[in-house]
Amino acid sequence: MAEEQKTGCSPSDCAGCSHAGECGSKPQSLIKPENKKSHINHVIAVVSGKGGVGKSMVTASLARLMREQGFSVGIMDADITGPSIPKMYGIHEKAKGDGENIFPCEAKDGTKIMSINLLLPEEDDPVIWRGPVISGVVTQFWTDVAWGELDYLFVDMPPGTGDVPLTVFQSLPVEGIVIVTSPQDLVRMIVKKAYNMAGQMDIPVLGIVENYSYLVCPDCGRKISVFGESHIDEVAEELGVPVIGKMPIDASLAEAVENENFAEVSNDYLAEAVNKL
């Protein structure tokens, strides 16, 4: 039976639709209005195809570098089941509200932060919620949080291509994504999944950051490729996307996270990357 041509489809519907390309209907925008007290110029999402590659590290590093350049910056921690941003900045207080709006907490460097950990009674309470509830929370981080004036809002996404990335891409005016990856064999497939998802949602890929690229031997200064040879340049060329940064394993970065003083970090490995956003 011939597939019925629909109107008002969402952008992601086009990907699986046999009428894509010849369909006259414009995809319906599902973008939600921002909170009345928010004026945000650029929304950039930081994504990864799999967990533990350093997405939060890259998100916070980009935010810090923007702060150092004098921009007003916020971080939305959309990793609801594994939030790590508040602790990186040493924030353990609760976010306040006035019945209508929720106000983000402010880190020592002025970065505004919203995370589920700022709303839970105890920060080690686990979030055992179904996907739609989690996605609803992320949407509220956009509609109900009074971010104020921001030059940049970085969204730290959960790994993969599930409910939350879909919600963020559909509901927030994401200007572009940064893909974080590591130099491992699976990188080709994992980066392509994130790249393809962004493509299907019509969101530009601003660049790829490779984390854990190497380790500098503290004795001889030699660069050791802990996770094997990197293939990121080939993959990036194939996709036509720039590699905007390569970060080594650096104990001082891990220490700043451990000591909860990321508000003082200046991650020079990504100094060039931030200029390309």
Ligand X SMILES: Nc1ncnc2c1ncn2[C@@H]1O[C@H](COP(=O)(O)OP(=O)(O)OP(=O)(O)O)[C@@H](O)[C@H]1O
Site string for ligand X, 15-54 (x = CB under 6 A): ---------------------------------x--xxxx
Task: Considering only the stretches 9-17, 114-122, 147-155, 247-255, report the one whose residues sit in contact with ligand X under the rule CB under 6 A.
Answer: 247-255
Give the single-character DSSP code of 269: G
DSSP H or E stretch at residue 198: helix 187-200
Q: Give the residue closest to ligand X by C-beta.
A: 51
Give the x-and-dash track for 135-164 against ligand X (CB under 6 A).
------------------------x-----
Q: Pick the closer one to ligand X by CB: 146 or 165.
A: 165
Q: Is 54 a known ligand-binding residue?
A: yes
What element of type H or E holds 74? Answer: strand 73-77
Dihedral class, residue 135 (left if φ above 0, else alpha if ψ from -120 to 50, else beta): alpha
| From 7-15, 76-84, 120-128, 198-206, span contacting ligand X (CB under 6 A) | 76-84
CA distance 11 to 169: 10
Burial class (CB in 10 A: 0-12, 13-18, 19+), 89: buried
Residue type, 233: D
Q: What is the CA radius of gyration of the chain?
A: 19
From candidates 247, 263, 265, 273, binder to ligand X by CB under 6 A = 247
Contacts with 49 (C-beta within 8 Å, 6 or more apart), sequence order = 159, 160, 161, 179, 181, 189, 190, 191, 193, 194
Task: Kindly write out the interface string for residues 77-96 of this chain, putting x where it contacts ligand X by CB under 6 A and - elsewhere.
Answer: --x--x-x------------
Closer residue to ligand X (CB): 35 or 195: 195
Strand 215-216 relative to strand 112-114: parallel, antiparallel, unpaired?
unpaired
Is 235 marked as binding a ligand?
A: no
- The annotation places the binding site for ATP at 49-56
Catalog residues that contact ligand X under the rule CB under 6 A: 48, 51-57, 79, 82, 84, 159, 211-212, 247, 249-250, 253-254, 257
